[in-house]
Amino acid sequence: MTSKELPDLKLRGLRTFVAVAETGSILEAAKRMRGSSSGISQQISSLETALETKLFDHSTRPMRLTSSGLLLRSHAYKILEAVANAHAELSIHNLSNLRNLTIAVIDDLDTFFTPALVSRLLEWFQGCFVSAYSGRSDQLVESLENREADICISATTPDNVEVFSSIPILTEPFILVAAKGLLDQKQDIIAQLKDAPFIQYSESIPIGRIVTQHLKRVRFNYPRYIALEASRSVIATVVQSRGWSLTTPLNLLDAERFANQIEVVEMPFPAFSRNVFLISRHVELGDLPDRLAEECRSLVTSQVIPRFSGLVPHMSNAIKIIPG
């Protein structure tokens, strides 16, 4: 077989194959790869087409490898191990020469994360120039994609999972905030919400789109009054207008100056949540993203969770760490 006749095998396809082989399930492999079941199925189908052979017996549960699949698995392990070793060696070389590093942090965590992470980076890489800035999740991810940032901490992730690695840090639920005294919790909360102004996040930003989509899913119809971007503006307007909003613990902390003028009420809708990730390009920074992710988890545990617990004691367990 000439080089032109060799099948086009991609690392992503081999990693997907190994994930399905080890879990015996498309669904479980999708969870491990942080992708969709349809995407995993497509990659396996493409791999089987490229190799012109069946790799799995799809009629069994869990799925079993065919004889061809068993043969490929042994080679796949060797290939992926060789690639990992090469990446590790290159990463160590790259980090030893690190001179500039830019980190972008979601607005909600800027004051908690940025000073501590910058100090840690300067401690680890003496002589490295570290710059940091904050912004909206979608803007930070775009900066990462454009190589304007090396690492970002965001509540949204890039679409290209082959290029970018997203390490989960925490998960937090959406919560209902209302002007103090607006709601009688002994009465029908949803009926009361329909009679009060809903102060929503703009649908031009990720959190606004998440909230709007969820309310559509639960078929909650509301009159449109005003849409804002900044959490402080949303919470301030909730107070001023005697209204309500759906936000998250981190966003509420960003507007905690209004804490004594609002109340956090148990969600009357089905629960929904969001995750926060540390995102970087695969391999380029070695184990640095993992080390920084652990630093972030420590900061959430020591600073963010106690701060929110003091603000909203009855929801002290709302923010949860996602272990590495």
Answer yes or no: is 321 within a domain: no
**Whole-number Å distance between alpha carbons of 250 and 255:** 9
Domain that holds residue 143: 99-165+279-315
The proportion of the chain whose per-residue pLDDT surpasses 70, expressed as a percent, equals 94
Give the pLDDT score at 302: 96
Q: Which residues are bridge partners to 280 per DSSP?
A: 151, 165
Q: Are residues 23 and 151 in the same domain?
A: no
Average pLDDT of the residues in 77-91: 74
The count of structural domains within the chain is 3
Task: Please write the tens of the pLDDT for every residue from 298-308.
Answer: 999 999 999 99
Give the pLDDT score at 60: 86
Closest alpha carbon to 181 in 257, 246, 242, 258: 242
Given 93, 114, 130, the domain boundary residue is 93
* Number of residues that make up the chain: 324
pLDDT at 323 over 60: yes
**Whole-number Å distance between alpha carbons of 117 and 115:** 6
- The string over 86-113, giving b where at least 16 C-beta atoms fall within 10 Å of a residue's C-beta and e elsewhere, is eeeeebeeebeebeebbbbbbbbbbebb
**Whole-number Å distance between alpha carbons of 42 and 13:** 10
Work out the mean pLDDT of the chain and round it to a whole number. 90
Answer yes or no: is 16 within a domain: yes
Answer yes or no: is 322 within a domain: no
Q: Are residues 7 and 51 in the same domain?
A: yes
Answer yes or no: is 304 within a domain: yes
Say which CATH number the domain at 142 has: 3.40.190.10
Pick the more confident residue, 309 or 127.
Answer: 309
pLDDT at 84 over 80: no
Average pLDDT of the residues in 126-153: 93
Task: Please write the tens of the pLDDT for every residue from 8-55.
Answer: 678 888 899 999 999 999 999 988 887 889 989 999 999 998 898 999
Q: Are residues 74 and 125 in the same domain?
A: no
Q: Which residues are bridge partners to 131 per DSSP?
A: 102
Contact 269, 218 (CB under 8 A): yes
